[in-house]
Chains A and B, each alone.
Chain A
Amino acid sequence: MSHIDNSGRGRNEGHVDEMSCLQYLEGLLERPRALEFSAHTEQCSDCRALLRALERESKLLSFALREQEEPVPARLLAGPARERTPWGWIVSFGLAASGAYWVWTSIIDPWQAQLAQAGFGGSDLLSTLFIQSALWKGWDTMWTMVQALAVISLGLVGFLLLRRTLRRWNTIALMMTVIVAALALPLGVSAIECHKANTNYTLPADQEVKDDLLVSGQTVRIDGTVDGDLFIFGQNLTVNGHVTGDVISGGSMLAINGTVDGNVRAFVGVLNIHGKVGKNVMEFGGTMLADSQSEIGWGVILYTGDVTLEGRIGRGITGRMGHASLDGFVGGDVSFKVNDSFDVGPHAQLLGKVQYTGPNQPAVAAGAKLINPIDVNIEAKTSNPDYIFSGMSLWHKLLFWGAAFIFGLVLLFIAPGFFDETIQTADRFGVSLGVGALVMIATPVLACIACFTVVGLGVGISTALLYLIALYGSKVFFAAWLGRGIFNWGRSKAGNAGPSEQQSFRTVTASGAMVGHLALGLVIIYAIRMVPYVGFWLAILAVVWGFGAMSITLFNRMRHGAVAI
């Protein structure tokens, strides 16, 4: 096949062709031709140069292909599973299941029962708190826990079935799309009228809006009728007219002087109710005053500073607040956790049970009518931001640890490569912390913006849910990183690993070891959380750190996509 061109045409003039050079280099030329080739190259500097260049190209190629610049996924290195009783898994799943059961029966279920007493019954917790009828009419029937779990389970089954035929990330993307689409499917396209005023907006008394109304401005005044839901945002917000749907509000002050047939969901500094609310009132903010003229058809849920309720409330009240004063009619049960004081005025008529938890005995005026005695639970005031864990036993902490551990194992099982990369990214702590803080702040803002653009409601809520899951997951990544660091440190102290071995361990971590790192890291995090004040802030730091590492890894994966290493 050797070919020396003596024709004098083109670049081959008197030189050996490239194919023959390659075959000569690889020892594939027959002996007579190889000798002929060798004799030619001894005299021809150009052919010698080509040989050298091709040889260099081969070496570069060989080196580039064999270089071990990318870690092998941990799950591959772990090897085939040994057929042993997986006691670690059994215990962990047991803890996780017990933890989930405890969280449900001790926290969610009683809370939901309280909410039901307060008039928020009839649906699940999520829809009650956030979505029921106010943002989307279909959620209250769709979003039961069972339905949501069914959708997610179907997604997981689909993932397992499809992952053999599709690439993993494609499969995950497809399943997420299907789940989001399934949740968003019943979302009807509803008309909404939007107004954005720089200073003031007034809906005159003689005007009626036949759709939902979204208004923002410094001062917003609704004197007319809104035949739908009302979304108002601004400094001074007043509803003097009639709203047939719900009122969703955010701002400094909201006054309800007119009639709202549906619910009032307020995220305002001051909420004053002088008029009539057909269903529930929910307030997250500073102060709430419902005067003696006010009427709330169903119940009240509050997370506020000062509360004064003097009007008529058809059902119950529940919440947590600084100071509470009741001096009106309450048809249902009352359940308060108060940080300061609780007064019952002379005009109060409380028909249901009253449960009070606070630092002082409640002050009950002489004329107050209580069907049941107040169930008082005196509890010292706490300023520890970690109050959620204040009454928690070691056993409960263990259950929380189990739940986090299982979450981490699921992540490790579903996306071992991503898990491994995230932990390595966490080595860059400065970047991780910076990016983590940025993304943690930006994501909820973007989700809120998506929600309030109405068209993006499904996207906004999905983003918010994914954000919450990611927040929880970030602790897991940090824990695995921490566990790995401690483990490596221990190895180096014990002198079991030389420098090169330690270096390779960084990139070649078996998943069995990773599980151990995760468990150790979580134990340390939960132990640190028990330290007053400092523990809380260190836990926040861990979450930001892990969140940043996760975000960077996700970004890198999306950017590099299918480009080979």
Chain B
Amino acid sequence: MNASEQQKLADLIARARTGNLEAWGDLYREFAAPIFRFCRRSLPAREDAEDATTEIFMKVREKLGQYDSSRPFQAWLYKVAANHCWDMLRRRRIRQDLETEGVEEMPLEHPDPSQLDQLLEQRSSQDMREALAKLPSRSRMALVLRYYTEMSYDEIAESLGLRRNFVGVVLLRARHQLREALAGQANSQGAAAGRGQ
């Protein structure tokens, strides 16, 4: 976002904070799509993502007065969205997976790079998303926060209620789970191709 766009956004936010409905509408339309995509990546079903997007913007409208305009608006918006989605998952008890498993064990492995290369070879974005959908909620959420919203480790720790030192472990474990899911996909595709011959 260049300087003029940032200024335009700041003006929009300032007008929305005063209760200007048109400005709020423009702000909503500007960010509805990325927030929906964030929710879609974080939550298990499309309907959840649709509902969550609406609810997040209701919260944002309520809390817009609390937004510190010296910080990037997107970062604040994603933080609100992350908290909301994580709360949703917690309410539905979806995130109980792995919650009891310790994250304090640091995996100090050195995987075979050629195997990793081979696994990633010819994997499409769709494969990646399907594999992501199979991950436990916390792992998926951590990857989304890091690689979609580009949150810092501190922000991820705050959003997921983790100690800062464990964020790296959670992310690394999430990558391992993702690789397992990708390997599983590759095996099942290979088996299907074998049956087809």
Closest chain A residue, CB of each to CB of B175:
A57
Q: Which of A4-37 contact B (CB under 8 A)?
A: 5, 11-12, 15-19, 22-23, 28
- Chain A: minimal CB distance from B71 (Å): 20
Q: A11 and B46 in contact (CB under 8 A), knowing A19-B172, A63-B125, A168-B51?
A: no
Q: Assuming the A-B contacts A11-B112, A57-B175, are A563 and B50 also in contact, with contact meaning beta carbons closer than 8 angstroms in the complex? A: no
Q: Is A494 an interface residue (CB 8 A)?
A: no
Q: Which residue, of B46, B107, B120, B130, has the highest number of chain A Cβ atoms within 10 A?
A: B46
Asked if residues A53 and B107 are in contact (CB atoms below 8 Å), the reply is no
Contact A56 B32, beta carbon cutoff 8 Å: no
Given known A-B contacts A56-B120, A67-B125, A564-B129, A168 and B113 have beta carbons under 8 A apart: no
Q: Which residues of B from 98 to 148 have beta carbons under 8 Å from A?
A: 106-114, 116-117, 120, 123, 125-126, 128-130, 132-133, 143-144, 147-148
Q: With contacts A22-B171, A61-B147 known, is A50 near B111, CB below 8 A?
A: yes
Nearest residue, chain B, Cβ from A415? B47
Is A77 on the interface with B (CB-CB < 8 A)? yes
Which among B40, B57, B144, B168 is the interface contact of A22 at CB below 8 angstroms? B168
Of A53, A58, A64, the most chain B CB neighbours within 10 A belong to A64
Across the two chains, which residue of chain B brings its CB closest to A50?
B113
Bound Cα distance A63, B125 (Å): 7
Distance (whole angstroms) from the CB of B33 to the closest CB of chain A: 5
A60 within 8 A of B: yes
Q: Is B17's CB within 8 Å of the partner chain A?
A: no
A491 within 8 A of B: no
The answer for the CA separation of A170 and B29 in the assembled complex, in Å, is 28
- Give Cα A53–Cα B114 distance, bound, in whole angstroms: 8
A82 x B21 contact (CB < 8 A): yes
Q: Name the B residues within 8 Å of A61 (CB-CB).
A: 128, 143, 147, 178
Bound-state CA distance A67–B53 (Å) is 18
Number of B positions contacting A (CB below 8 A): 52
Chain B CB within 8 A of A76 CB: yes
Q: List 3 A-B pairs, minimum CB-CB distance, nearest first.
A: A564-B133, A64-B128, A49-B113
Decide if A80 touches B47 in the complex (CB within 8 Å).
no
Residues of chain A within 8 A of B57, CB atoms compared:
80
Query: Of the candidates B25, B41, B109, B128, which one forms a contact with A82 in the assembled complex, judged by CB atoms under 8 Å apart?
Result: B25
User: Known pairs A11-B109, A83-B21. 13 more at Cβ < 8 A?
Assistant: A12-B110, A18-B109, A22-B168, A22-B175, A28-B153, A56-B120, A60-B123, A64-B128, A64-B132, A73-B50, A76-B36, A79-B32, A80-B28
Q: Is the CB of A52 within 8 A of B132?
A: no
B107→A18 contact, CB < 8 A: yes
A233 CB to nearest chain B CB (Å): 44
One digit per residue, 1 when the CB lies within 8 angstroms of any chain B CB and 0 when it does not, for chain A 74-89 equals: 0111011011000000
> Contact check: which of A17, A54, A169, A564 meets B108 at CB < 8 Å?
A17
User: Does B37 sit within 8 A of A, measured CB to CB?
Assistant: yes
The answer to the question of B155 belonging to the interface, with a C-beta cut-off of 8 Å to chain A, is no
B184 at interface (Cβ–Cβ under 8 A)? no
B56 to chain A, nearest CB (A): 11
- 16 pairs from A and B in contact (CB 8 Å cutoff): A49-B114, A49-B117, A50-B116, A53-B113, A57-B120, A60-B120, A61-B128, A64-B126, A64-B132, A65-B41, A65-B132, A65-B143, A70-B37, A72-B33, A73-B36, A508-B33
Is B54 a contact of A76 with CB atoms below 8 Å?
yes
Which residues of chain A are near B21, meaning CB under 8 Å? Answer: 80, 82-83
Say whether, besides A53-B116, A61-B128, A82-B21, A565 and B40 are in contact (CB < 8 Å). Answer: yes
Q: Is the CB of A564 within 8 A of B28?
A: no
For residue A362, CB closer than 8 A to chain B, the reply is: no
A70 to B129, alpha carbons, bound, how many Å? 12
Smallest CB–CB gap between B121 and chain A, Å? 10
Out of B28, B107, B130, B147, which one reaches A62, CB within 8 Å? B147
The total of Cβ contacts below 8 Å across the A-B interface reads: 149
Which residues does A use to contact B, with CB under 8 Å?
A: 1, 3, 5, 11-12, 15-19, 22-23, 28, 46-47, 49-50, 52-54, 56-58, 60-70, 72-73, 75-77, 79-80, 82-83, 163-164, 167-170, 417, 508, 561-565
Cα A53 to Cα B110 with chains together (Å): 12
The residues of A that contact B183 with a CB separation of less than 8 Å are none
Residues from chain A with a CB closer than 8 A to the CB of B44 are 562, 564
Evaluate whether A76 and B113 lie within 8 angstroms (CB atoms) in the complex, with A61-B128, A62-B147, A564-B44 already known.
Answer: no
Q: Which residues of A contact B24 (CB under 8 A)?
A: 80
Are A562 and B45 in contact, CB atoms less than 8 angstroms apart? Answer: yes
CA distance A5 to B106 in the complex (A): 14
Bound complex: CA A65 to CA B150 (Å):
11
Contact of A5 with B108 in the complex, beta carbons under 8 Å: yes
Query: Contact mask B1-35 → A, CB, 8 Å, 1/0?
Result: 00000000000000000000100110011001100
Whether B144 and A65, one on each chain, are in contact in the complex, defined by CB atoms closer than 8 angstroms, is yes
- A70, B40: Cβ atoms closer than 8 Å: yes
Shortest beta-carbon distance from B179 to chain A in Å: 8
Interface contact B54-A18, CB-CB below 8 Å: no
* Interchain CB contact under 8 A, B113 and A80: no
If the complex has contacts A61-B143, A62-B147, A167-B48, are A79 and B25 also in contact, measured as CB distance less than 8 A? yes
Question: Whole-angstrom distance between the alpha carbons of A308 and B123 in the complex?
Answer: 75
Write out the residue numbers on chain B whose beta carbons fall within 8 Å of the beta carbon of A46: 110, 113
- Return chain B residues, CB-CB under 8 Å to A19: 106-108, 168-169, 172
Could you tell me if A64 and B37 are in contact, using CB atoms closer than 8 angstroms?
A: no
The answer to whether A64 and B117 touch across the interface, beta carbons within 8 angstroms, is no
A5 to B123 alpha-carbon distance, docked (Å): 32
Which residues of chain A come closer than 8 Å to B111, judged between CB atoms? 11, 18, 50
Measured CA separation A515–B25 after assembly (Å): 19
Q: Which of A49, A65, A80, A564 contacts B25 (CB 8 A)?
A: A80
With a cutoff of 8 Å between Cβ atoms, the chain B residues found around residue A54 in the complex are 116
Q: Tell me if B37 and A72 are in contact (CB < 8 A).
A: yes
Inter-chain contact A12/B109, CB cutoff 8 Å: yes
Instruction: Give the residue name and chain of the B residue nearest to A557 (CB).
Output: B46
Candidates B51, B53, B116, B133; contact of A563 at CB < 8 Å = B133
**Cα of A163 to Cα of B41 in the assembled complex, Å:** 21
Chain B min CB distance to A89 (Å)? 19
CA distance A565 to B50 in the complex (A): 13
Question: What separation, in Å, do the CA atoms of A79 and B144 have in the docked complex?
Answer: 25
CB-based contact B132/A18 at 8 Å: no
* B133: nearest chain-A partner, CB-CB: A564
A62–B51 CA distance with the chains assembled, in angstroms: 24
Within the assembled complex, what's the spacing in Å between the Cα atoms of A58 and B54?
30
Given contacts A64-B128, A82-B21, A76 and B50 within 8 Å (CB-CB): yes
Cβ distance B95 to chain A, nearest Cβ, rounded Å: 15
Query: In the complex, which residues of chain B have a beta carbon less than 8 angstroms from the beta carbon of A70?
Result: 37, 40
